[in-house]
Chains A and B, each alone.
Chain A
Amino acid sequence: MTRNSTFRLIAATPLIALLAACGGETTDAEAPEPAGDAPAEIAERQDNFEAIGDSFKAIREQLETDAPDFAVIEPAAADINTRLQRLPDLFPEGTSMEAGYDTEALAAIWEDPEGFNEAIQTAVGLSEEMMAAAATGDPEAVGAQVGNLGKNGCKNCHDSFRKDDD
């Protein structure tokens, strides 16, 4: 009988562990628990970045086709530009990953505000170049700007200011 209840305990352990793992999504053991609800800016900026990613992908998808549709590319390029300009307002102090929020925004953003702002302005500038390329109707010009904006705009900023280790 003791044998049996031991087995039951062993059988239940992984289930309990699994449930605990599923429930533990919002609580990070290492990070301090932030007071109150998460600031709205965190969700706003995440939605904004998602939308930028979607527009960027929409452009790249068009470039993969034989006849890229500039009726898709041009508004997508404009959308990226508009949304990048919103970024400076979406990073209020104390909304870093280190502050315990469910975000990948590193404290480096607030430790190096000039560097962060410069990275945003670089991306905004590159998105204007993308808009100019889109206006020419030349897929190759747009393709060149995809690489330029992707590497020197998006990735450049992610490397320094977003948790993203390979």
Chain B
Amino acid sequence: MAEPTQPVRIWDLPVRLTHWSLAVLVPAMWVTADNSEWGWHIRLGHVLLAVLLFRIFWGFVGTDTARFGNFLKGPGKVLAYLRGGYDEKANKGHSPLAALAVLGLLGFTLAQVAMGLFAGDPYDGATGPLNPLVGVGTADTLTDTHEWFWWVVVGMIGLHITAIGIYGAVRAENLIGAMIGGKGEKKLVVSDNSPTPWGRALGAFAVAAGIALWIYLGAPPLT
């Protein structure tokens, strides 16, 4: 029957905190926009920006499973995964296909946040802090795009949640538990994730938060 497995450390704490922060912040962005709470929409948008930037930095200086260089794979590996040539139990971290989802989730959300920074009209309600840097026409186009692009973000999240549902239902793979507790059942050949470099985590977060705050303040001296 099945090969024996043991609990293995997969996701470091910064990755998990980042993930669940996004799961709370992204819907909150919708709620604040839908209720015209622009002050909150903008403040939370900058927290979201800080979280996204941190995750990107962490993708270069974080643990093994957090690094883009370790989980982003070429089309060959993605195709092999789709053909079933990937042993979930003998690997930890993002699968080659999931790596694309990570890129999509982070990339689309960051694009959405970036557009919001320029959106709005100074004579008509709230504006993003970088709105003065672009012309009226550009700001208008970015505002309109910011409105419909939300559904692209929702589509990507829908795919992500559907995939987790399929894993849970069909393959009985507990992905949510791993994202909460950090551990998952893997074959004995799979080793623990590398230890969390907390100094670098703190540094990456400080830089990310610093950039987000700087933009919130209008990116002086640019505006």
Name A residues whose Cβ lies closer than 8 Å to a Cβ of B.
3-4, 7-8, 10-12, 14-15, 17-18, 21-22, 25, 53, 56-57, 60-61, 64, 104, 150-151, 154-155, 158, 163-166
Query: From A164, which residue of chain B is reached at the shortest CB distance?
Result: B125
Contact with A along B19-37 (1 / 0, CB 8 A): 0000100010011001011
Q: Does B213 contact A (CB under 8 A)?
A: no
- Indicate whether A8 sits within 8 Å of B169 (C-beta atoms), given known contacts A18-B158, A21-B30: yes
**Interface readout for B105-126 with A: 1 if CB under 8 Å, 0 if not?**
0000000000000000111111
Nearest residue (CB) in A for B37 is: A165
Q: Are B123 and A154 in contact (CB under 8 A)?
A: yes
Q: Measured between alpha carbons, how far is A15 from B175 in the docked complex, in Å?
A: 15
Q: How far is the CA of A104 from the CA of B38 in the complex (A)?
A: 12
Please, how many angstroms separate the alpha-carbon atoms of A7 and B23 in the complex? 17
Q: Are A12 and B34 in contact (CB under 8 A)?
A: no
The prevalent SS among residues of B at the interface is helix
Question: Are B39 and A18 closer than 8 Å at their CB atoms?
Answer: no
Number of interface residues of B (CB under 8 A): 35
Question: Is there an interface contact between B125 and A11, defined as CB atoms closer than 8 Å?
Answer: no
Q: How far is the CB of A7 from chain B (nearest CB, A)?
A: 5
Whether A25 contacts B34 by the Cβ 8 Å rule is: yes
B137 to chain A, nearest CB (A): 5
Please give 13 more A-B residue pairs, beta carbons under 8 A apart, in addition to A11-B167, A164-B126: A7-B172, A7-B174, A8-B168, A25-B34, A57-B121, A57-B136, A64-B137, A150-B122, A150-B123, A155-B123, A158-B124, A165-B39, A166-B39
